[in-house]
Amino acid sequence: MKYWKSHFVFNKSERNGIFILVIVIVLLQIINFSDPFSASEERISEKEATVLKSFQNKLDSLKNTERIKDTIYPFNPNYLTDYKAYRLGMSVEEIDRLLAYRASGKWINSASDFQKVTKVSDSLLDIISPNFKFPAWIKSTSVSKQSNVAKVDINTATAEELMQIKGIGQTLGERIVKYRTLIGGYRSFIQLQDIYGLNDETRLELIKHLKKIPQNFSKLNINEIDVIQLSEIPYFDYELARALVNYRNLHEKISSVEDLIKIDGFPVDKIDRIQLYLSFN
């Protein structure tokens, strides 16, 4: 008993030491208990981050859905609002032109009228014009007006005159005139196939309103023309002209279209146009 009692008898210094030790132990326990709370807070933060990320993904999905244009339903372009016009892809300037035109009390009666007023591109007009819905009386008036369009000379008509024809907007009208200048005048309606953006349907409609092209132009003899003269003909460049002359010199003469096909690099798809400028006699 005396032995065990000796283990619980402490002097003042020992008691102070034990007291300090207890304080240290208590502090360590407090720190130890605070770590789980911190870890828990970290786990909560991670969970919140996951929720926020999921929510953000939903928002992004909604934004992407918003960017996708709605199905275009038939509408009267005279009552087109600025918001709907923007959704259709029109620029601010194009929308302002339309609103100003309508504010003046004027009406749009056709797709070509719409393009003249707004100056939208042919590509955008092709997308939205099939959805234009005009009153029945406007359609009948447009048909009557279309049938009364006077035939024009493709080699003298202005872009504005060509724009009176169904399907020909400002851009196409200007391209037709510009290409006419480039080739020195149209010799056949087949050359209209070279106009970028002029589809077959519109081209055939255009031809209905064109006067026949007089066949009073002269052709150059393919066996007498030199490289420089040949290179100045539409559809030729210097390299192709030189290749043709070299072939002619080698074979002494070019007798037919079949000979042209044998020339390396010759534009076979343009032969029908090239024959408008050259003869074999």
- The residue extents of the domains of the chain are 2-67, 77-144, 149-208, 220-279
> Which of 211, 85, 84, 56 lies closest to 149 in space, CA to CA?
211
Distance of CA 2 to the CA centre of its chain: 103
Q: Give the Cα-Cα-Cα angle 179, 183, 189 (nearest 5 degrees).
A: 70
**Token code pair at residue 265:** 């690099």
Residuewise pLDDT in 10s, the chain (281 residues): 555 555 556 666 667 777 777 787 877 777 766 655 444 444 556 666 676 666 666 655 555 444 444 567 788 888 888 888 888 888 888 988 988 888 887 888 888 889 999 998 988 888 888 888 876 655 544 554 455 567 899 999 999 999 988 889 889 999 999 999 999 999 999 999 999 999 988 899 899 999 999 988 899 999 999 999 999 999 999 999 999 999 999 998 998 888 998 898 899 888 889 999 999 87
Structure confidence at residue 9 (pLDDT): 61
Structure confidence at residue 45 (pLDDT): 61
pTM above 0.85, yes or no: no
Q: Which helix (H) or strand (E) holds 251?
A: helix 238-251
Distance of CA 155 to the CA centre of its chain: 31
* Torsion sign, CA atoms 193, 198, 201, 206: negative
Structure confidence at residue 56 (pLDDT): 66
User: Are 118 and 94 a contacting pair, CB within 8 Å?
Assistant: yes
Judge whether 149-208 and 220-279 match in fold. Answer: yes
**Domain 149-208 bears CATH identifier 3.10.20.80:** no
Structure confidence at residue 68 (pLDDT): 40
CA–CA separation, 107 and 222 (whole Å): 55
Structure confidence at residue 107 (pLDDT): 83
CA–CA separation, 210 and 162 (whole Å): 9
> Which of 124, 65, 69, 55 lies closest to 95 in space, CA to CA?
124
User: Are 97 and 117 a contacting pair, CB within 8 Å?
Assistant: yes
Structure confidence at residue 30 (pLDDT): 77
Fold of 220-279: DNA polymerase; domain 1 (1.10.150)
Structure confidence at residue 276 (pLDDT): 92
Structure confidence at residue 35 (pLDDT): 53
